[in-house]
Amino acid sequence: MHYSVALNITTKKLHDRIEHLLSLADVAVNGRRPWDIRVHNDNFYHTVMQCGSLGLGESYMAGWWDVPQVDEFICRVLKANLQNKVISVWDFLYYLQALLMNQQCVKRSYTVGEKHYDIGNDLYERMLDKRMIYSCAFWKNAATLDKAQEAKLDMVCRKLELKPGMRILDIGCGWGGMAQFAAKNYGVEIVGITISREQLALARQRCAGLPVEIRLQDYRTLDEPFDRILSLGMFEHVGYKNYRVYMEKVSCLLKEDGLFLLHTIGSNTSQKTTDSWIQKYIFPNSMLPSAKQITAAIEGLFVLEDWHAFGADYDKTLMCWYDNFQSNWHDLKKKYDERFFRMWKYYLLSCAGSFRARNNQLWQIVLSPQGIPGGYRAHYK
């Protein structure tokens, strides 16, 4: 058989296979609905079948396919559980690597800072709210991103029952938005740690004149007491091999009458790796914890006082970030190319679709070393 004929037959088989899989999610190839994909390059079919999620994202970055609403397309794919119907060699390799190595050891912990958070403060300034909070907002009584993030920060402070003069640790302080808010509004002293040099510089600038100290430091190297500890959107970088180590360190740093608030994205199932495309292009060495993994890590160390789930709010937060990113692209494109635009668009919208499908969760968990006398009162109802 002539090579070109054989190639055409193979492509047709792959086309039919993918068309069938997508039909299970009510997605059509070259259809007319906002979640139907338009294929521009037949290499798309082979790449997706061979590389799974990694191939889907890379082929989008290459412009081999488009869809009017990436978020809704991904939502439907995840609801139909298609991600488990195409397992690639890359998925196996990432899994094997996670088993054999501690990818989030102290030496490697700064990798995500260099690869993601150090991309450029200009990008995040234009994408996030005015305080540059890079974690899920709380939309219950808010109409704008700024107000929703302010509501989240205030809720965190109330959950921690902050009082003037307290010394607070912010693990993964980002650009200092939480530290700045708590110092200004609750009269506390903050130590914030980050693994990003770009975050460090801007956080110090934004918190100048406040009782806030920002450090470039891994959490495992801390050794000093705190009245309260919080972590907003950092636990996703800890890794399953370090969950217990993380909780033991927090336990050692927290005073006996203290409180610890953990704000993290969560997975419905226990995993040892993350999505292969996210791993390669967005958050290297990242991993979403399950409820089971978190409770196992805190057993014997903390009393679970409160578990607050509001994952649906992350869909709206991500869509706001995308709108900001897109509306500011005319300035950002002077520094970032078209491939970056498609990568970042795919990142934000595919994550929004994942939360919309309830494939990912968002939890705020309040823990105490010995239990609050008389019980803990929830501060968000």
Tell me which of 157 and 94 has the higher pLDDT.
157
Structure token pair of residue 149 = 């993030």
Element (H, E) at 380: none
Give the mean pLDDT of 5-27. Answer: 74
Determine the pLDDT at residue 23: 86
Lowest mean pLDDT among 12-16, 32-36, 107-111, 342-346: 107-111
Distances (CA, A) of 212 to 114, 158, 182, 206, 288: 23, 19, 10, 10, 29
pLDDT at 282: 93
pLDDT tens digits along 275-318: 889 989 998 888 999 999 999 999 999 999 999 999 999 999 99
DSSP-assigned beta bridge partners for residue 253: none
Tokens read off for 202: 């801007």
Residue type, 328: N
Note the pLDDT of residue 275. Answer: 87
Q: For residues 183-187, give the mean pLDDT.
A: 98
72, 41 contact by CB (below 8 A): no
Instruction: Please state, for a pLDDT cut of 90, what percent of the chain lies above it.
Output: 75
Mean pLDDT over 177-204 rounds to: 97
d(CA 269, CA 85): 17
Q: Average model confidence (pLDDT) for the chain?
A: 90
| Tokens found for residue 47 | 């790449």
Calpha distance 273→97 (Å, rounded): 9
| pLDDT classification of 92: cutoffs 50, 70, 90 | very low
Q: What is the pLDDT of residue 95?
A: 43
The answer on pLDDT for 28 being more than 50 is yes
Measured CA to CA in angstroms, residue 182 lies from 142, 173, 186, 367 at distances of: 19, 12, 5, 19
Predicted confidence (pLDDT) at residue 210 exceeds the cutoff of 90: yes
* pLDDT value at residue 11: 67
pLDDT tens-digit map of 221-236: 999 999 999 999 999 9
Residue of higher predicted confidence among 86 and 257: 257
pLDDT digit string (tens) for 100-144? 445 555 555 466 667 788 889 999 999 999 999 999 999 999 999
Q: Helix (H) and strand (E) counts for the chain?
A: 15, 9
The fold adopted by the segment(s) 110-313+357-368 is Rossmann fold (3.40.50)
* Every domain range in the chain assigned CATH 3.40.50.150: 110-313+357-368
**CA distances from residue 176 to 21, 164, 366 in whole angstroms, order as listed:** 44, 19, 21
Q: Say what the pLDDT of residue 249 is.
A: 98
End-to-end CA distance of the chain: 69
Please state the pTM of the whole predicted model: 0.91
In this prediction, residue 213 has a pLDDT band, given cuts at 50, 70 and 90, of: very high
Question: Is pLDDT above 60 for 5?
Answer: no
Q: Is 101 helix (H, G, I), strand (E, B) or coil?
A: coil
Tokens 């061979």, residue located: 50
- Active-site positions? 351
3-state secondary structure of 225: coil
- The answer on pLDDT for 64 being more than 50 is yes
Q: What is the structure's pLDDT at 8?
A: 52
